[in-house]
Amino acid sequence: MSKLVISAIGPASSVQDGGRPGSQRYGLTPSGAIDRLALAAANSLVGNTPFAAAVEIGPFGASFTAREGAVRVALAGAPRSADIAKRPAAFDTSMTLADGETLTLGFARGGSFSYLAIEGGIDGEPMFGSLSVNARAGLGSPYPRPLQAGDELQASAASGAAERRIDLPAAPDGPIRVVLGPQDDEFSDDAKKQFLDSEWKISATSDRMGYRLEGPVIKHLHGHNIVSDGTVNGSIQVPGNGAPIVLMPDRGTSGGYPKIATVISTDLGRFAQIPAGRAFRFKALSMAEAQAEARKFSEILRTLPDRLRDIENFDLNIEALQDANVAGSAVSAIDAATWQVPSATDALAQDL
């Protein structure tokens, strides 16, 4: 076995997989990756199942060092600067770290979360069927908390397989799509119009439990308390202060605030990647439209293996080429003396 040692990492980074579906009836939150498409893409690149556990890396930088052998990894999600031992590394590709090499990642650009998948997956003891970390509940493996410098992730030795890239479809642009309800009747038509017509921003106080929205105050018709009922990823609750909260994978499984709308599953990863402070809007879809989008998204996930391409590796050793001096001496196109071969007479004249 090899291992990947975390040399440095910022907050909001943890091990996440597809989550814990099927246990919400017992009050167990699902957790899991905040951007499921990025997780599945990274895993596909190294031959794992789509929702195997990977490292979900928050907005700040991180670095990982291979120890006790080579480790093959892949990056997907929010782009950021990346290099292996000072060599540039690309996103949406697989790559192999030789023993002792370090993968260094910078701050996320244009998003919030990136995913680092490890060939063979992450070794850990499943808790209720998942390695996903929920720090508040003390759940997750191999560390039931956010990752920190010095942590070690056991990994399979690199297979030596050809490196691959993945051609992902362009992310949809425009508003984040929602289905109104299930308690949209707790809001006036004017309040629902205000919700859909306004610009919103994600608060810096947001986390994996919920994204707090900054914007206009949404007023209730009959007060902000309802009989608690079930929630789903993407439920948009409106508490007493009128500031909506979009519930995320570490949410509670039930809640007592009216839910004005629900982010469709297809857009939840795109929504989760919006950096704090960036303006966006919502757009309402019918249930039938949302279901059609869900089927399209499922098809993208199903066909990820068909989007893989081998990378043709022309890894020339630049230092070796320089040492060999294969380019020869420099010449000038306008100075024939630098490139014209002298005749025997010219050479004799130079000697005299």
244-300 pLDDT, tens digit each: 999 999 999 999 999 999 999 999 999 999 999 999 999 999 999 999 999 999 999
pLDDT band with cut points at 50, 70 and 90 for residue 313: low
CA distances (Å), origin 317, targets 87, 120, 207, 320, 351: 12, 29, 44, 5, 41
pLDDT band with cut points at 50, 70 and 90 for residue 344: very low
Q: What is the pLDDT of residues 144-170, one digit of tens each?
A: 999 999 999 999 999 999 999 999 998
Residue carrying the six token digits 């060999």:
324
Does residue 50 have a pLDDT over 60?
Answer: yes
Q: Which residues contact 47 (CB under 8 A, 6 or more apart)?
A: 119, 159, 161
The pLDDT of residue 318: 42
pLDDT band with cut points at 50, 70 and 90 for residue 352: very low
Centroid of chain to Cα 253: 24
d(CA 260, CA 40): 30
d(CA 53, CA 124): 9
The pLDDT of residue 100: 96
Beta strand 54-57 with 282-284 is: unpaired
pLDDT above 70: percentage of residues in the chain: 89
pLDDT band with cut points at 50, 70 and 90 for residue 143: very high
* Average pLDDT taken over every residue of the chain: 90
Does residue 303 have a pLDDT over 60?
Answer: yes
Paired tokens of 166? 């993945």
Does residue 343 have a pLDDT over 70?
Answer: no
Q: What is the pLDDT of residues 166-219, one digit of tens each?
A: 999 988 889 999 999 999 999 999 999 999 999 999 999 999 999 999 999 999
Break the chain into its structural domains and give their ranges. 2-164, 176-285
d(CA 48, CA 39): 10
Q: What is the dihedral of CA 28, 210, 131, 81, to 10 degrees?
A: 170
Q: How far apart are the first and last CA of the chain?
A: 72
Does residue 339 have a pLDDT over 50?
Answer: no
Rounded to the nearest 5 degrees, what angle is found at the Cα of 69, between the Cα atoms of 67 and 74? 85
Average of per-residue pLDDT across 109-122: 96
Centroid of chain to Cα 79: 8
Which CATH topology does 176-285 take?
A: Cyclophilin (2.40.100)
The pLDDT of residue 302: 96
Q: What is the pLDDT of residues 23-33, one digit of tens each?
A: 898 899 999 99
